[in-house]
Structure 1
Amino acid sequence: MADFLAEEVEDIHESFLVSDDAVLNPEQIANMLGMNAESVRRWCRQNKITHYSFGGKFIIMGKDFKTFIRASRRRAGLKKFYE
């Protein structure tokens, strides 16, 4: 089990390592990703990222943010592109 946890931590860039209990808003996530906060809000409205919504405001827990980042990660393939 410890190997699984070590692999899970290595599977995410250190820039995105936040506490599972961290309470994040779209602006904080946008700053970490170098994006516009409206993009994060759109992900919330489209249920692409697990969130809480209070009066039109979105809150994302650290654990849910990390899950979203892992799911969004694209792995480089081993294909060779000759064309």
Structure 2
Amino acid sequence: MENNEYPFVGEDDVFTPGRIAALWGLNPNTVRNWCRTGTLKSIRWGGKYVIRGTDFIGFMDRGRTR
């Protein structure tokens, strides 16, 4: 499935909280908190959070105002 709404995010991409923070101009701790609380679906890998592209797209879709 092609992602036209978020061309900088591929569904098969993997992101760190730092990369997401850089894309959106946020503090990396904010993104880590979203991961820790489950607001942003993530996987713990070697003690670090990893976010799949599909989960990041879903997070952005849920946050959109309609």
Question: Which TM-score applies when normalising by structure 1?
Answer: 0.69
Q: Over the residues paired in the alignment, what is the CA RMSD in angstroms?
A: 1.9
**What is the distance in 1 between the residues matched to 2:55 and 2:6?**
15
Q: Identify the residue that residue 41 of structure 1 maps to in structure 2.
A: 32
More helix by share: 1
**What is the distance in 1 between the residues matched to 2:33 and 2:47?**
12
Q: Identify the residue that residue 73 of structure 1 maps to in structure 2.
A: 64
* Structure 1 unmatched runs, 5+: 76-83
Residue 18 of structure 1 and its aligned partner are, at CA, apart by: 1.1
* CA gap 1:37/1:73 in 2 versus in 1, 3 angstroms: same
Residue 30 of structure 1 and its aligned partner are, at CA, apart by: 0.6
Residue 13 of structure 1 and its aligned partner are, at CA, apart by: 4.8
Work out whether 1:60 is the aligned partner of 2:46. Answer: no
**What is the distance in 2 between the residues matched to 1:51 and 1:63?**
10
Q: Percent identity?
A: 35
Moved over 4 A (4+): none
